[in-house]
Structure 1
Amino acid sequence: MTDVADVSTVRADTPGSRATARLLATAATAVGAPDLVLAVSRNGVRTVHTGGGSEPGPVPRERLAYELGSASKPYAGLLLARLVAQGRVRYEDRAADLLAPGLPVHPAVRRITLRHLLTHTSGLPGLPADFYPQAVPRWSTDPYGGYPADRVVRAFLRARPRHRPGTRWHYSNFAVSVLGHTLAAATGTPWEVLLHQRVLTPLGLTATRVRPGPEGADAVGHRRDGTPVPALDTGGFAAAGAVRATPLDLLSFLEAHLGGLEHRDPALSAALADVTRPVLRRGLRHGHTHTLTWFHHPSPYGPVLFHAGATLGQQAFLGFRPGSGLAVAATATRRVHRADTFVATAYGLLTQTP
């Protein structure tokens, strides 16, 4: 797909930033989407490339809010880590005890901790079993909106985990959604308010939210055939996939993980350090490493931490390289498909850039 809008925004006109702009412009040719943003921060110097197959609108692409899908999970993880740093909860607190103290549940459910929920080791399936009958008829339009928060909680309390908590890794939107509801119950504060109070506001992320913004403020997703997709309604699964943010705010979020908050907010600084530490290894020869919230891979230039996400019509990639000052944020308004190159392109910028 040929770009009809191709703009590079560089905050410092240096040889390094100009080289990064050329790198992003080249990378963008590998991705076809109506709207595309590739954004890089090197030690706080930002380079943003925008393009895509559609005509740009009145709001610059880098200032539109994009649906993050599963790339919302690092925000939920940082929220948990900050509440732990502040002594409000502990990683080993049992979710059922916080959600429904004294209510009879399956013994395996009783053993599920907040850490299990966040690290996908709870034994819960990816989604509740009764999610699919109501979702399948509207799979391409609104699969989550008809499954509200109270239903997610009820499904958790009557669950029968497939594996003993803490023994196996299985990616679960269900589990992270339960984490969000548990933190809300533990603090007496709705998850959305809690996220704003403890993460978004302290980090200055004023263009990040969990609901659609005013008309014209959000990017519009598209199916593979180019058909526009309605804004995502995550229903009761908000903690697992509801965050929307501009690429510039995504860079701010990633830059916070690269340091600089030690004297501003000790609890938040401690939480940011906590979520970057490897806590789990799995797979053949324990080849896959995870922190509390990030996938953790080696690269020629040191470890990289990243998370990707997709919704019905949008994609996002977030990643950074601790110790190098490099962060990469990418967004696209096109549904993922089998031959998709978006994640590979963004991942390459993170892992192959000196």
Structure 2
Amino acid sequence: MTATVTAGRAVTGMAGRLATAAQAVDAPGIVIAVSRRGHRTVHCGGTAPPPPVPRDQQRYEIGSASKTFTGLLLAELVRAGRLSYDDVAADRLADGHPANAPRDSDRSTGRDRNTATLRHLITHTAGLPSLPADFYPQAVRRWSTDPYRGYPAERVVAAFLRNRPRHRPGTRWHYSNFGASVLGHALAAATGTPWEELLGHHVLGPLGLTGTRLHPEMPGAGTPGAEPARTAAPRTDACGHRPDGVTPVPGLAMGGFQPAGAVRATPGDLLTYLEALLDPAGTPSAGTPLADALHAVRRPLLRRGQGHRHTHTLTWFQHPTPQGPLYFHAGATTGQQAFIGFRPATRTAVAAVCTRRVRLFRDTFIATAYALLSDTE
């Protein structure tokens, strides 16, 4: 694997395209990384002064793009025979927490029976809202900085078990951080292993993603009363910003919603992840069981919208191109944005991150990153 890294100087070819793309985004810090036929090109830029740790070596919050990791974990556990896509989530949650099982007095009426499956949860067809109804009152006072901290995993599970789906599971698509989070907790309950450990053992470790973490860098971040670590070493977590591009935002603690948005990774790790999806039989997944799961998450599962023009796999949005499908997912946190995508026909992958929250109606980040993926031959 060869690589080219640029940092704002005049360049041509792919490096020039990335430099132009970065300038179009206008963010305090931005990294755009492309892997094309085995060659990596990385551009670092932004309006803010360069940080002590180079931008391409920092970890970035990828927000909802974390769901692709949780979906890959599900595919791997299914491949290993530890569970099935059609397992009812409420039953799996009861595996680890007997108190979550329906009461005998309610079994005959089915009043507490939620039939959403693991597949429904990851494909956003479980009939769930974006977030639990009681999430908003506790989050509103810190909505722009730390909305998830006060809503732990136990509360996510309880909200799911008392929820009545808006629609019969499997009949309608509605994007849901709630559903993806419940999936992670169901996997943990079914295996008796915390979601973080499952992800590390089955996904991050086999892929060699040593620059990927699931928590803000400072120990205790997001935990009331915790004492921050005292260290002279430069921070390696990128600092996010408000839409103004100036006001810093602290690292985001996801509370009980980690499976939906907790991954923070270096651009290099994101490219390694995407390269494994481009070629599951190649390194670093060659010879590992994970290769089958990497294939599984590329298969189309459902279509929606007018003329069924929107296609979804287990974890990815899929769009057609003349050379074959491209796959992508984006994410945003309180202070950062990310786009990851890959296109097998052209052996191209794009990982783009920036340290500014999305600005409604005038955001160019996602469109710019998507264009790099779709226009590269």
TM-score, normalised relative to structure 1: 0.93
Aligned to 2:236: 217
Matched, 1:291 2:324: no
Query: What is the Cα-based RMSD across aligned positions, in Å?
Result: 1.8
Q: Structure 2 residue aligned with 1:130, among 123, 131, 134? A: 134
**Residues 300 and 351 in structure 1, CA contact (< 8 A), matched pair in contact too:** no
CA apart distance, 1:142? 1.1
Q: Is the 8 A contact 1:304 1:319 kept in 2?
A: yes
**Aligned to 2:172, what secondary structure does the other structure show?**
coil
Kept in 1, the 8 Å contact 2:145–2:334? The answer is yes
| Structure 1 portions without partners, runs of 5+ | 1-8, 12-16
Q: Is the 8 A contact 2:280 2:295 kept in 1?
A: no
For 2:36, give the aligned amino acid: R
Structure 1 residue 156 and structure 2 residue 160: aligned?
yes
Aligned-partner residue type, residue 251 of structure 1: L
- Alignment-derived partner of residue 98 in structure 2: none
Per-residue displacement from partner, 1:307-354 (whole Å, max 9, x unpaired)?
A: 000000000000000232100000000010120100000000011111
Task: Check 1:294–1:64 CA distance in 2 against 1; reply closer, same or farther (3 A cut).
Answer: same
Report the counterpart of residue 334 of structure 2 in structure 1.
312
CA distance in 2, matches of 1:131, 1:40: 37
Does residue 230 (structure 1) correspond to residue 233 (structure 2)? The answer is no
Partners of 2:112 and 2:162 within 8 A in 1:
no
Deviation string, structure 1 residues 224-270 (Cα, Å, up to 9, x no partner) = 12100011011100000000000000000000001143673442111
For residue 184 of structure 1, the aligned residue among 188, 204, 212 is 188
Letter of the structure 2 residue corresponding to residue 218 of structure 1: D
Q: Hey, what does 1:340 align to over in structure 2?
A: 363
1:221 deviates by 0.1
| Alignment coverage as a number of residue pairs | 342
Aligned to 1:3: none
Q: Find the aligned partners of 2:158 and 2:281 in 1 and give their Cα distance.
A: 39
2:273 matches 1:253: yes
Q: Which residue of structure 1 aligns with residue 291 of structure 2? A: 269
Gap runs ≥5 in structure 2: 6-10, 96-100, 219-233
Residue of structure 1 in register with 2:375 after alignment: 352
So what's the TM-score if we normalise by structure 2? Answer: 0.87
* SS of equivalent to 1:30: helix
CA-CA distance at 1:110 after TM superposition: 2.7
**Is 1:54 equivalent to 2:48 in the alignment?**
yes
Q: Is 199-208 or 254-263 further displaced after alignment?
A: 254-263
Q: Quote the Cα distance in structure 2 between the aligned partners of 1:260 and 1:82.
A: 13
Change (3 A) 1:309 1:143: same
- Whichever residue aligns with residue 203 of structure 1, its letter is L
Percent sequence identity over aligned pairs: 64
Q: Which of 248, 256, 262 is matched with 1:242 structurally?
A: 262
- Structure 1 contact 108–164 (Cα < 8 Å) conserved: no
Q: Does 1:65 align with 2:59?
A: yes
User: Hey, what's the Cα distance between the residues in 2 that align with 1:198 and 1:304?
Assistant: 25
Q: Which amino acid aligns with 1:150?
A: E
